[in-house]
Structure 1
Amino acid sequence: MSGFVKNIDQYRRSFAGALVLCLGVSGCAAQAGNVTSARAGLVSHTAEYKFKMTRSDQGSSIVDATGALGYRFEKVCDGWITEMQQIMILQGTEGRPINSAFSMTQWENFDGTRYRFRMRDFLNGTQVDEVVGDAVRDDASVKVTYEQPVEVVEELPADTMFPTQHSIRLLERAESGEKFANDLVFDGSGDTPTNRVAVVISDARKSENSAKDADGLTKSVFHRMNLAYYPLGEAENGPSTEMAVDLGPNGVAQALRFDYGDFEVLGTLDKVTKLPAPDCGS
């Protein structure tokens, strides 16, 4: 049983970390002073996703997976806020299903020099982890100060991106017709918060979405972005997670796909709602 629980824990943490980076993509923004068509089309929104297993290979330790995700991306007067709450029920080849829940709140300023994050991880209703911290960029490095679970300071390479920074670059690349990207990204989640993210970007595709969408946010084309996550310092072991996001030019993720090698999970957009612009005065 211990081996099964260990595998479950590895999968759920990998899912949570990839989810943060993935939905950082759907919360894409432009840096101040760099107004692009990607930023002009950006929409603050809430979204609801449903997850189900679409493939389980013979011999996989996971035989079923279902879940849901609530997501909020919003422009505020001093930056961008992202909130997400996810629950996933994982069924192994033996024993009871394991209920894994995850929540994350992020704030990133417009110029990409400051990033705050809080992640909480739950297992069968009990909180098993909490990570709280702050990251600041200067010309020489990115300095990450963790407040929980322990007070510690970490320095990352100066070219490390935060999730929103990374997302704007991906949309800009898609608009310009680029097909590949390879970036170092820090999100603050889980055991591997810093990843080398390799991306393959598709041509624009026609939307196939049937979500509840009173504001017509999913009527545009999208680019499918296939992402592979290589934890910093462990690239020789191959990607920890591979996934794909169907990303519209307005920043709405129309579908999410996670590939764990021996099984796959599909996230389908169920409902999306536009949020009003902030009132920041003059």
Structure 2
Amino acid sequence: MRLKRFIEVAAVGAVSVIASPVLAQPVLTPHRAVYDIVLEKASDRSGITSISGRMVYEFDGSACEGYTVTFRFVSQIETADLSRITDQQTTTYEGAEGETFDFVTKSYVDQQLDREVKGSARRMNGATIIDVSKPEEAEIRLEETHFPTQHLVELIEKAKAGETFYETSLFDGSEDADRIMTTTVIIGRPETSPKPDEEFPAAKAIGTSTYWPVSVAYFDLSDVEGEEVPDYRIDFKLHENGITRDLVMDYGEFSMKGRLVDLTIFDRTPDCPN
């Protein structure tokens, strides 16, 4: 599952070489966010009776030094026949200019390593070149695209400019690190919390700042036969500083809700004056 992608939309994720010429690039706040995850609904076909878990997302860096993201999602999935604990751990680094992206993801099932994907990507001469070192060495050439922080920055810029719908693409190293996802983004009207939000006790870290309701659908167009339907969709509230909350992750046969329960803002001094 690509569950990290909801905040990388860029953080997950997600976030700039395509900055609007009339708006300053958004300043993304280094932070650690903790979300409690529960099953919202599931079809009989999915076989899922319960999902519970916790997701921790840590975003650090700046437009001068680049951005580091560490992500961990631990969940317990219940079906009529079994109970399984999954643990996904991801670390990424995206260069300041959005031209390079390093990634490593380890997936555990019942505390046993199930899969590790590691590599790096770079944008070069109108293409995206991926060098995969695990599970097997490979070089993959794809069309030019965004990396996660670029993707997030673009989203915030378009929200600030009043745009409500657009389409773009994303590479985040998920799955086998061999594909680009097409994303369609719907941005609602900006809203302002009348008081520190009751969603989590540490709401004062966000205060009464403006946010946008956002819905992002992800399509793998390399594997499409017939009608194009999204692999999954993520709805959330996005703040101008890149913090997200009130999540719904819809995978078709089941969906999950994510509630922000703790937020730590890192006290960082920018490493460049402008």
Q: TM-score, normalised by structure 2?
A: 0.87
Structure 2, unpaired ranges of 5+: none
> In the alignment, is residue 238 of structure 1 matched against residue 225 of structure 2?
no
Of 110, 126, 136, which aligns to 1:124?
110
User: What are the within-5 Å matches in structure 2 for residues 220-239 of structure 1?
Assistant: 220-236=209-225, 238-239=229-230
Q: Match for 1:153: what amino acid?
A: E
Q: What is the aligned partner in structure 2 of residue 10 from structure 1?
A: none
> In the alignment, is residue 89 of structure 1 matched against residue 80 of structure 2?
no
Deviations, residues 26-55 of structure 1 (Å, cap 9, x unaligned): 355545987944524x21111100001122
User: What are the within-5 Å matches in structure 2 for residues 257-272 of structure 1?
Assistant: 257-272=248-263
Instruction: Count residues in correspondence.
Output: 264
User: Match of 1:203, SS?
Assistant: coil
Runs of 4+ in 1 over 6 A off after TM superposition: 32-35
Distance 1:281 1:221, change over 3 A: closer
Distance apart, 1:101 and its partner CA: 0.8
Distance 1:251 1:53, change over 3 A: same
Which structure has the highest helix share of the two?
Answer: 1
Distance 1:153 1:232, change over 3 A: farther
Distance 2:249 2:36 in 1: 13
Distance 1:169 1:266, change over 3 A: same
Of 78, 101, 117, which aligns to 2:65?
78
Distance apart, 1:23 and its partner CA: 3.0
User: What are the within-5 Å matches in structure 2 for residues 154-193 of structure 1?
Assistant: 154-158=140-144, 160-191=145-176, 193=179
CA contact (8 A) 1:104 1:119 kept: yes
Distance 2:18 2:161 in 1: 20
Distance apart, 1:225 and its partner CA: 1.5
CA contact (8 A) 2:101 2:147 kept: yes
User: Match of 1:23, SS?
Assistant: coil
Q: What is the aligned partner in structure 1 of residue 266 from structure 2?
A: 275
Of 181, 198, 207, which aligns to 1:195?
181
Q: Match for 1:150: what amino acid?
A: E
Structure 1, unpaired ranges of 5+: 1-12
Distance 1:281 1:250 in 2: 18
Deviates more, 1:252-261 or 1:18-27: 18-27
Q: Match for 1:263: what amino acid?
A: F
Of 30, 36, 39, which aligns to 1:44?
30
